[in-house]
Chain A
Amino acid sequence: MSTVSSHPPRTRRNVELVLLLLAVGIVVLAYVNVSLAVNNEVPAGLTTQVIGLLVLAVGFHLVLRFKASYADPVMLPIATLLNGLGLVMIHRLDLAAGRSIGEAQGTRQLMWSALSVVIAAGVLWFLRDHRVLRRYTFTAGAVAFVLLLLPLLPGIGRSVYGSRIWIGLGPFTFQPGEIAKIVLAVFFAGYLVQTRDALSLAGRKVLGFTFPRARDLGPILVAWILSLGILVFETDLGSSLLLFGLFVVMLYVATERISWIAIGLALFSAGAYVAYLIFGHVQTRVNLWLDPFSPDSLAVSDQLAKGLMGMAAGGLLGTGLGRGRPYLTPFAESDYIIPSFGEELGLVGLFAILMLYVLLVERGLRTSLGVRDGFGKLLAAGLAFSVALQCFVVVGGVTRVIPLTGLTMPFLSAGGSSLLANWSLVALLLRISDQARRPVAELVTGPNATSDAPTEVVAVR
């Protein structure tokens, strides 16, 4: 199967426009549905709101038409739909809590959505070629390191319900891990493109696996220690898993060596197990996960139990938007937005939402397959996989596949940092997909193009 077709390539921008209008249509329908269910009336000022939404979505679409005309046509509609559905659910929870427009989470989320879309459009507008990012490989590494450590700094670090993954500056709170995810992907991609040959070729064969040389184990050990540090000091399994999973997968993609995954899994499992044995808070989380309904667990937190009961209340078809009681679960609009959807849209609706993420990730991986340069491949694969892994960590946490963590659901959950990061992530993927799908003749040749274009350069060291 080859993604390079012999047909004259098409931009598919019109397909994107149709899908985008469909996405906006679904969001508007959901919004009206909520208003009818809760207040028994069509929301006031609906026309203005629809126009506002259309301006944002179509505006982004126009940026793509001008600046990345060969970009993937499905990503923007999916991101718009997820963002919109999240807004509707947050608004629905505002109504249930009786919050006024001024203090409503929905208002904040709407403002952040607009800002994020504008910033994402800005990324597309100014970043003409993703390979430029490779120049900032080590800057990105340093920035990511700082971002990850920020929550631990006294004064600005905030511990929210046991997880120290927030920073607070005055009235603003921020999850730096969300941004770190992208910056790290850039760093890993740049670093691995340079060192992949050393990492993939040297080594000795044991039991069919080619194991790396001891001195090449350095980077994976650093990533491992950093992720364990997050698990122990920021007490967040989700961030830890996300960071380490991202690194191991990118390492595997770069080196094509399955032994890296084996080593990574072994290291992480061992580290997590030792952390479980030593640290009380890790044990608490694990006990909550194993038996959320035991009296001991309920005394610590009944959030998991309430979320499960909420999902059970939804059943197959759900209660209908605005007709369930998702507000009974704490953090129903952020960490627990997935159970909120499960309750009101049912198993069917939840499946549909999960499928949207699958599609988004699949388009990202397809971009990675299609793009010609190694850096782009690694970056796209890393970004796409990070979305998949984050969904797994969040949904797996609330449905008891893994212990619960404090991460947000991309695009759906309330939270400015999350929206900003994920819209930027999609912008990067769109940029790379434009390069991937653009015919060779039309490729932009930037200042770095000549040195970056051949992907098989061997970095000698």
Chain B
Amino acid sequence: MNAPIRRISTLVALLFAALLLSSTWIQFVQAKELQERPDNRRTLLANYARERGQILVGGNPIARSVPSDDELKWLRTYPGKDLYSHITGYYSFTYGAGGGIEGAEDALLSGSSDKLFYRRVTDILTGKEQSGASLELTINAKAQAAADKALGNQPGAVVALDPKTGAILAMVSHPAYDPSVLSSHDTAKVQAAWKELNADKSRPMVNRAIAGNLYPPGSTFKVVTAAAALESGKFTEESSIPGPATLDLPLTTANLPNDFPGACGPNNRVTLTRALEISCNTAFGWLGMELGADEFRSQAAKFGIGDRLSVPMTVTPSSVPAELNEPQLAQSAIGQYDVRTTPLQVAMISAAVANNGIVMKPYLVDKVTSSDLETIDQAKPEQMSQAVSADTAGALTRMMQKVVESGTGTAAQINGVDVAGKTGTAQQGPGQPPHAWFTGFAPADDAKVAVAVVVEDGGTAGNEAAGGRVAAPIAKSVMEAVLGR
């Protein structure tokens, strides 16, 4: 009977070899994948056991973790309540990290990022309490507060950029919410709040500045059309172009009218500068058809439309339709038809004009620091593209200055500062109130700030809204805040 017993011991060895293999598979090969599963409570608890890094604006925390004496050792709090909700996002035990920096830079904040690897090893060796990295944002607290106050309870968004670097100075989306209700450790309350926020028809959790249902840019897009015209070499700011009361569109019975009664100038003609100043639809519609779809679309692309961006939150790409016939092109040239943009993209157009035609990559995180305030990473401004030549940028600046000086954007004037800008009133469908837009920058000769403002459905002004009346004053107060006035 000894031979079979020996064979049985081989069988036993095989059985245990299978167990060694399977446990190695789980604890070594698959371990990382299993630990990164969103439903892994152990990973969540481990993250909560470490102090999560702060999110700072001007040295003050807008998101920080405070010790908590329940199972989760740290409670995430947002001292700014809803002022920074779309920037920070939320950090919830039940719903994870999302909605802003909390989600986009989770690895750094939680301390699990590979960038922190050596620091982690040192911490383990020196026996120091581990904690995540803190992020200092580019946000200007005054500009953010001004934008929030000026927008008030109107749904819409405000974005302010530093045109020279691309640093985001303000990012406000209304309606907002208080992320603290989602970071609470009271699961029932968090679930109720989450349900309510998601059911809310005004969609408070959507960051309208970079995502959501993009907006038609309306007349602010005439800056892009004007840029394409100047870049083509066929036109200058003083070129005289047709500007009748209504533009007869080919292929269709519909015509393109102006927002105001009558033609844009004597003899149905108008200069390019004047056309922008008074926001002449017919002139820009004609210009679009004259330039052609390819030229128009490539100019838009040079401003960054269609690019995928992360600031570090993912920005929904703005778009110009790929196929445009003549009437559609005329509509697109004035920012209607199916052209869709984020407020961030519109601000980038103004910023490029202000920065000699150079588009800078927008960013929100200025500095990454460890818990002992040592700098781990410092943002470096990055050039995205040259949208227009410096000459064209100069011409566009002069034209946009006219808009604020004596055109549709006079409400954005700031005492003693030259402001350049463009208004917009974006039609939606028949019967729906338009969106009010303003984009611009100041000071015109050496810009410190570029802004874009959109007020959904014309805000409180209703159907008669024009970007000049509703959006321009908001842009004005944000620019004043940045310029310290």
Contacts and interface: CB of A to CB of B under 8 A. Distances in A.
Interface of A: 249, 252-254, 256, 293, 298, 305-306, 308-316, 324-325, 328, 342, 346-347, 350-351, 354, 357-358, 361-362, 365, 368-369, 374, 377-378, 381, 385, 388-389, 391-392, 395-396, 399-401
Overall SS of chain A's interface: helix
B37 A374 contact: no
Given A254-B1, A350-B23, A399-B23, A358 B12 contact: yes
Interface in B30-89: 30-35, 37, 39-43, 45-46
B210 to A, nearest CB: 32
22 contacts: A249-B11, A298-B39, A308-B30, A309-B35, A309-B41, A309-B42, A309-B43, A311-B34, A312-B30, A312-B40, A325-B45, A342-B27, A350-B27, A354-B16, A354-B20, A377-B1, A389-B15, A392-B16, A395-B19, A399-B22, A399-B26, A401-B18
Q: Which 9 A-B pairs have the closest CB atoms?
A: A312-B34, A399-B22, A347-B27, A312-B31, A392-B15, A388-B12, A253-B4, A313-B42, A395-B19
Contacts of A401: 18-19, 22
Contacts of A385: 8, 12
A293 B26 CA distance: 14
B41 to A, nearest CB: 6
A310 B8 contact: no
Nearest to B13: A358
Interface of B: 1-6, 8-9, 11-13, 15-16, 18-20, 22-28, 30-35, 37, 39-43, 45-46
Given A311-B27, A312-B31, A315-B31, A391 B19 contact: yes
A306 B15 CA distance: 24
A254 B4 CA distance: 8
A317 to B, nearest CB: 10
B134 to A, nearest CB: 26
B16 A308 contact: no
Given A256-B3, A309-B43, A312-B30, 6 more contacts: A252-B4, A313-B31, A313-B35, A365-B12, A374-B1, A395-B23
B5 A388 contact: no
A354 B118 CA distance: 34
B125 to A, nearest CB: 15
Nearest to B30: A312
Nearest to B41: A328
A308 B24 contact: no
Overall SS of chain B's interface: helix
Contacts of B41: 306, 309, 325, 328
A94 B297 CA distance: 68
A388 B15 contact: yes
A253 B5 contact: yes
Nearest to A317: B27
Nearest to B45: A325
B61 to A, nearest CB: 29
Given A256-B3, A374-B1, A378-B1, A312 B35 contact: yes
Contacts of A346: 27
Contacts of B9: 361-362, 365
B2 to A, nearest CB: 6
B16 A358 contact: yes
Given A256-B4, A378-B1, A347 B24 contact: yes
A325 B45 CA distance: 9
Contacts of A314: 27
Contacts of A249: 8, 11
A254 B3 CA distance: 11
B4 A388 contact: no
Nearest to B27: A347
Most interface-central of B37, B42, B46 (chain A CB within 10 A): B42
A347 B12 contact: no
Nearest to A192: B1
A313 B28 CA distance: 10
B16 to A, nearest CB: 5
A391 B121 CA distance: 37
Nearest to A328: B41
A399 B35 CA distance: 16
Contacts of A325: 41-42, 45
B72 to A, nearest CB: 12
A342 B42 CA distance: 14
Contacts of B45: 325, 328
A347 B22 CA distance: 11
B12 A361 contact: yes
Contacts of B43: 309, 313
A361 B8 CA distance: 11
Contacts of A381: 1, 5, 8
Contacts of B11: 249
B18 A400 contact: no
Contacts of B4: 252-253, 256
B259 to A, nearest CB: 53
Contact of A311 (B20, B26, B39): B26
Contacts of A313: 31, 35, 42-43, 46
B124 to A, nearest CB: 12
A318 to B, nearest CB: 9
A314 B31 CA distance: 8
Contact of B26 (A252, A308, A351): A308
A365 B26 contact: no
A400 B22 contact: yes
B316 to A, nearest CB: 29
A369 B5 contact: yes
A130 to B, nearest CB: 16
Nearest to A346: B27
A365 B1 CA distance: 12
A293 B36 CA distance: 13
Contact of A309 (B15, B23, B40): B40
A256 B1 contact: yes
A291 B9 CA distance: 32
A298 B38 CA distance: 14
B390 to A, nearest CB: 57
A293 B43 CA distance: 16
B467 to A, nearest CB: 48
A253 B20 CA distance: 26
B439 to A, nearest CB: 46
Nearest to A249: B8
B18 A392 contact: yes
B28 A347 contact: yes
Most interface-central of A313, A351, A392 (chain B CB within 10 A): A313
B19 A392 contact: yes
A253 B8 contact: yes
Contacts of B33: 312
Contacts of B25: 399
B19 A316 contact: no
A385 B27 CA distance: 27
A15 B40 CA distance: 46
Nearest to A357: B16
B28 A315 contact: yes
A76 B228 CA distance: 89
A357 B23 CA distance: 15
Contacts of A396: 18-19, 22
Contact of A351 (B2, B20, B32): B20
